[in-house]
Amino acid sequence: MADDATPVFQIQRMYLKDLSLEQPNSPQILLEQSQPQVDINLMMGTEPVADGVFEVTVTATVTTKVKDKVLFLVEAKQAGIFEIRNVPEDQMQGILSIVCPQMVYPYLRAIVSDVCTRAGFPPILLTEVNFQAMYEAQQQQVAAHANGGSGIIAGAN
């Protein structure tokens, strides 16, 4: 009977949910000798799948430009399905926003690097991400917004 309250955290599956590569200005732009600008955007998402089962996604959008023209654009969404049960509610959001993305992210990094290489470009190596710092910053923004949007957290010294 005690097993009913035992916390459960299991990876059910890791998978590539979406992948896109665009080279809208090829082949002409490939002749450019200028150093490209690289812009990397990360997003996270969480969706309940079933009772105690969640899909966590991390999406990277990499836009590489030469001057004002797109050299290539890669968008990859890596997902994981996690079973999480009997975890205190106050810990659940941290698990879904920190622990799960940390497990998904290495797969995303490898995919982005591989796609760039297979497209004929040098690999884009996504840097390590501190998901805990991202989560804490997001929580501070939510708190600031709830306190009138002033950007000041009530009770801060």
C-alpha span between 57 and 104 (Å, rounded): 7
- pTM (2 d.p.): 0.84
Question: What pLDDT does 151 receive?
Answer: 47
List Cα–Cα distances, 127 to 35, 123, 138, 143, 156, in angstroms.
20, 12, 20, 28, 31
Question: What pLDDT does 42 receive?
Answer: 94
* Orientation angle between helical segments 131-146 and 100-118, nearest 10 degrees: 120
Question: What pLDDT does 149 receive?
Answer: 56
Question: What pLDDT does 51 receive?
Answer: 95
N-to-C CA span, the chain: 47
Question: What pLDDT does 20 receive?
Answer: 97
C-alpha span between 131 and 102 (Å, rounded): 7
Low-confidence ranges of the chain (pLDDT < 50): 1-2, 151-157
Q: Which long-range contacts (CB under 8 A, 24 or more apart) does 115-124 make?
A: 115/19, 115/21, 115/74, 115/76, 116/62, 116/72, 116/74, 119/21, 119/23, 119/72, 119/74, 121/64, 121/71, 121/72, 124/38, 124/40, 124/62, 124/64, 124/74
Question: What pLDDT does 157 receive?
Answer: 37
CATH architecture label of 2-126: Roll (3.10)
